[in-house]
Structure 1
Amino acid sequence: MNAARTQKGRAAPRVPRPGAVLAALAAAQFTVMLATSIVNVALPQIRAGAGLSDGGTTWVVNAYGLAFGALLLAGGRVADLLGRRRVLIAGLALFAVASLAAGLAASPGVLIAARAFQGFGAAAIAPASLALAMALFPSGSGRGRALGVWGAVSGAGGAGGVLLGGALTQAWGWPWIFHSVAVGAALVLAGVVALVPRTAAGQRAGRFDLLGTVTVTLALTCLVWGLTTARGTGWADARVLGALGAAAALLTAFAVFERRRPDALIPPRLFTTGRVAAGNVLMALLGSVWIALFFFLPLYQQQVLGSGPLATGAGQLPLAAAHVLGASLAPRVSRRIGATAAVTAALLTEAAGLLWLSRISTDGSYAADVLGPSVLVGLGLSVAFVQLTALAVDGVPPQDAGLAGGLVNTTRQVGGAIGLAALTTLAGSVTAHAAGDRLPLEALTAGYRTAFAVSSAVLAATAVLALLLNRRAGARATAPAPRRASGPEASRLSRLRLNR
């Protein structure tokens, strides 16, 4: 019988090329990152058009980040158990519908609720798409190239969101930033259905850890809510302290529960190589600076340099181009100088760019104060992101790939929430202290300079930590396995164990 025919005589379906499948999965990741940043430039217009208060405007951003960060672990585990392709398709469908609802929202409550449902969809998309990509390229240079693509679209989505948000807001109004995301998500959904094969399913062994999932989701919800609320009310607010205390108690309870459960949400086998923990710690620190960068840089361009929404978005293009270039070169750099050296050099490069940004002034310009640092930051950020993502999924058992993807996205999101809350509080304090003897714009710029300087110091410390953690993880991974006894010695040891 012809091999191109099935048993029923029909032509066998054509299997798409891995490159086409990877493109569809990367487009899903791009959509998630785009929705994270696309509203930043348009917030003043959204506030006026939707009738939002100051607090409501903040929650247009926070509702998405809160739902996304809190549900990533659950989304990753559900993808492992129910099938990654199925969960990815469901997440994209929910994401598209929620985006359309946000653009059509006639009241603040509907808009904020739609943003939360966007976050729910994103929490399914991000870990499922990453797990499918890692299954497509299990090891070797192919995985390096896949992670390079992943890093490129992640950075391009973040920077491209600022550009697209400014252009659409200025041309057609703020609802179109959500309509465009809805259309994009629908196109990506069609691409995933057409290109990702049905055989790309998750491992269905094991049961869903409902208790652990509910506990850690509530803990992350309290943590992210407390951190985002602290940006506006301060760290001493009773609600902030209560939320952070509840998060600490729930995380402690989660750790106790997980030690006794055979099907734990975060099983110990996930950390057997020693690299997963190191990758997630470093990714959290990188995220604390990454998200804050895309918050402060557009503010400086608009509030101090006086750029409009479109010009501010266009100003992100060099950073995005540097990010794409760095991500494409990351696998080659890693092979040439080693993964540890690549991570360290990337973090130091980004730290240098942020240190350069800490010299911004009120009478500066985009060309003198923003362009050069943006290129350095984009190059360093992209290489670090690619290498740390690879580290966080290295050696993970296939049945836990979705969970590993959810975990590394969670640490980046939670790290970003912590960093943004801390840096905005610090910048606000510096601005308030400087307001007494400086002009308003000078005081504002002083706060931004402080945020960039502290971000640079955090990344320099992260580079040192990367050396220590990678060295320890490498030593653990290459340590010789304990010698197993055999023959008479094995019999003697067996008798000793039985007699204890």
Structure 2
Amino acid sequence: MSERTLNTAPTATAPRPVLPPAAVEAGSRRDVAPPGPEPRARPGLALAVILSAQLMLMIDATVMNVAVPRIEAGLHFSSASIAWVMDAYTLAFGGLLLLGGRLGDLFGRRRLFILGIVVFTLASLAGGLATGSAWLLTARVAQGVGAAMAGPSALALLNSTFTDPRARMRALALFSGVSSAGFGVGLVLGGVLTDAGSWRWVMFINIPFGVLAAALAGRVLRQPARHETSLDVLGALTATFGVGTLVYGLIHAASSGWGNTVTIAPIAAGVVLLTAFVYSQTRATHPLLPLHLFKDRNRAAAYANYMLGPAAGFGSFFFLSQYLQEDLHYSPLRTGFAFLPMSAIIFTASRLTPRLLPRFGPKPMALTGCVLLLIGLLGFAQVGEHTSYATGLLWPMIVMAVGMGLAFSPLTVVIMSSVRPQDAAAAGGTMQTLQQTGVSLGLAVLVTVSGSAARAHPATAISSGTHAAMLAAAVAAAASILVGLTFRKPKEVNEG
């Protein structure tokens, strides 16, 4: 049905039902505006709520890093299984993001955003009260579920709040900057809270922010049109369990080696399930992952680097925080502040995106950022026993931070600025899925590489494991440089 027929009564020769004025065709789906009065448009306050929630979700991907030694001792984790404190969250977050985007289409993005924040906040309370490892990991999974509900809806709400292209680009750049800075802020905040009180406060700190965001969201966020669609249950199951089993096998390899059925079988199962997921998306009427999003070359390259970059950069934080505490004997507070320059530089560099991207385009920025990321990681790979922070760690942190700010922030704009409104949730969910999957898989691979090096050099296990992990991360950074070479020229971006 065309838009001209929406308010036209049916005729005798061509009987057809009259759709309400709020219904608009959107491809094979119908967009239905929500009933009832909408909040008064307050884009500044709406942006503040969305960015605050996104910052909270991103902080939790790294806030536990500095607290790892105390969690490991207090809840009796093994040195290999402690990685699940991070991966339990990122796996649930990344594995369910696409499903979260689809649920937002079905039930309303504002409603799912609020529900996700509530689930995340309650899970944070439960995690802070944990008395055992299983309890904490269950709470971390629940946090990931809440984040997967809120995350894609946050991007879709931002896209519908800012309709002017320039205002949307500025909002998306802020969103990306907050997302990138959240990883660094999590490291600093984790150190401050762990040292001042207990590791439990890295969970409790989410509660006041979650309550405030959930309370304000219904008052300031306008509900976008709801899409009539269907759930892709097979896609959700194969994607979530595919990544989960793959990561399980990789982390198990860190403690038991590769000549083990419990290592090989999950990895093989993960590959099969992920292959089945991609195939299912070609057959589904309403796929969780619309493959047409990858037809645009710039968007496909941005998606690839949104996975490779976090695998290289954010996976390394886990090892740096342990190296600082266990080899250099830093306190959690000093460790957190050691990451402060990195956090500040990532945010500052990402804030330059709205000015730099229209002038230079994504290719120079992505290449420059990825090269700097590689240099920083190679600098970290030179660590040894008792390497000085000022001479051996600070300069790689600065170089890596500038690289991450330049390389990742433009990607959100490239991905989201050209998608159709009805694809906004899927595009945002795919982007965040690849980011969180990159963090999960990257950390699993780095744990495996680090564990092998530590077993080979038990006398210098921490420094040897960190050295090996940083070299492995550098390989992912080098791959992101190759992907960056495929971006089109600025003129082609404007035309696309």
Partner residue of 1:17?
A: 42
2:101 paired residue among 76, 79, 94: 76
Say which SS state the counterpart of residue 173 (structure 1) adopts.
coil
1:94 paired residue among 116, 119, 123: 119
For 2:371, give the aligned amino acid: L
- Distance between the aligned counterparts of 2:306 and 2:397, measured in 1? 20
Does structure 1 residue 232 correspond to structure 2 residue 255?
yes
CA separation of 1:388 and 1:259: change in aligned 2, threshold 3 A:
same
- Distance between the aligned counterparts of 1:208 and 1:113, measured in 2? 25
For 1:94, give the aligned amino acid: V
2:380 paired residue among 357, 361, 364: 357
2:278 paired residue among 255, 272, 277: 255
Partner residue of 1:85?
A: 110
- Quick check: 304-313 or 43-52, which moved more? 43-52
CA separation of 1:257 and 1:428: change in aligned 2, threshold 3 A:
closer
- Distance between the aligned counterparts of 2:130 and 2:447, measured in 1? 29
CA shift, 1:313, in A, is 0.4
Contact kept in structure 2, 1:274 and 1:476, CA below 8 Å: no
Contact kept in structure 2, 1:319 and 1:374, CA below 8 Å: yes
CA separation of 1:474 and 1:430: change in aligned 2, threshold 3 A:
farther
Does structure 1 residue 374 correspond to structure 2 residue 391?
no
Does structure 1 residue 39 correspond to structure 2 residue 75?
no
CA separation of 1:257 and 1:13: change in aligned 2, threshold 3 A:
closer
Partner residue of 1:316?
A: 339
Partner residue of 2:246?
A: 223
Partner residue of 2:7?
A: none
Contact kept in structure 2, 1:37 and 1:162, CA below 8 Å: yes
- Distance between the aligned counterparts of 2:201 and 2:390, measured in 1? 30
CA shift, 1:326, in A, is 0.5
CA separation of 1:66 and 1:272: change in aligned 2, threshold 3 A:
closer
Contact kept in structure 2, 1:137 and 1:146, CA below 8 Å: yes
Partner residue of 2:488?
A: 471
CA shift, 1:322, in A, is 0.1
Partner residue of 1:270?
A: 293
Larger radius of gyration: 1
CA separation of 1:264 and 1:155: change in aligned 2, threshold 3 A:
closer
Does structure 1 residue 143 correspond to structure 2 residue 161?
no
Partner residue of 2:317?
A: 294
CA separation of 1:339 and 1:178: change in aligned 2, threshold 3 A:
same
Q: Deviations over 1:266-321 (max 9, x none)?
A: 23443343333222112111121122121121122112222111100011110000
1:211 paired residue among 230, 234, 240: 234
Contact kept in structure 1, 2:124 and 2:207, CA below 8 Å: yes
CA separation of 1:325 and 1:65: change in aligned 2, threshold 3 A:
same
CA separation of 1:225 and 1:450: change in aligned 2, threshold 3 A:
closer
Contact kept in structure 1, 2:39 and 2:221, CA below 8 Å: no
- Distance between the aligned counterparts of 2:256 and 2:230, measured in 1? 41
TM-score (norm 1): 0.85
Contact kept in structure 2, 1:126 and 1:406, CA below 8 Å: yes
For 2:156, give the aligned amino acid: A
- Distance between the aligned counterparts of 2:117 and 2:238, measured in 1? 26
- Distance between the aligned counterparts of 1:400 and 1:39, measured in 2? 33
Say which SS state the counterpart of residue 292 (structure 1) adopts.
helix
Partner residue of 2:361?
A: 338
TM-score (norm 2): 0.85
- Quick check: 98-107 or 213-222, which moved more? 213-222
Map residues 148-187 of structure 1 onto 2, 5 A cutoff. 148-187=173-212
CA separation of 1:456 and 1:109: change in aligned 2, threshold 3 A:
closer
1:421 paired residue among 439, 444, 447: 444
Contact kept in structure 2, 1:72 and 1:124, CA below 8 Å: yes
Say which SS state the counterpart of residue 227 (structure 2) adopts.
coil
- Distance between the aligned counterparts of 1:53 and 1:448, measured in 2? 18
CA shift, 1:424, in A, is 2.6
Q: Deviations over 1:227-247 (max 9, x none)?
A: 343333334432232222222
Contact kept in structure 1, 2:370 and 2:480, CA below 8 Å: yes
Report the aligned-residue RMSD. 2.6
2:411 paired residue among 384, 388, 397: 388
CA shift, 1:433, in A, is 3.0
Partner residue of 2:215?
A: 190
Contact kept in structure 1, 2:63 and 2:187, CA below 8 Å: yes
Number of aligned residue pairs: 460
For 2:329, give the aligned amino acid: G
Q: Deviations over 1:375-411 (max 9, x none)?
A: 2211210221111222333422211211111111111
Contact kept in structure 2, 1:102 and 1:111, CA below 8 Å: yes
Partner residue of 1:63?
A: 88
CA shift, 1:352, in A, is 2.0
For 1:239, give the aligned amino acid: V
CA separation of 1:106 and 1:23: change in aligned 2, threshold 3 A:
same
2:477 paired residue among 445, 459, 477: 459
Partner residue of 1:405?
A: 428
1:306 paired residue among 320, 329, 333: 329
CA shift, 1:339, in A, is 1.8
Contact kept in structure 1, 2:251 and 2:447, CA below 8 Å: no
Contact kept in structure 1, 2:232 and 2:288, CA below 8 Å: yes
For 1:74, give the aligned amino acid: L
- Distance between the aligned counterparts of 1:115 and 1:392, measured in 2? 29
Gaps of 5+ in 1: 1-11, 480-500
CA separation of 1:433 and 1:421: change in aligned 2, threshold 3 A:
same
1:129 paired residue among 154, 160, 169: 154
CA shift, 1:465, in A, is 2.2
- Distance between the aligned counterparts of 1:364 and 1:111, measured in 2? 33
- Distance between the aligned counterparts of 1:356 and 1:458, measured in 2? 15
Does structure 1 residue 103 correspond to structure 2 residue 128?
yes
Contact kept in structure 2, 1:70 and 1:224, CA below 8 Å: no
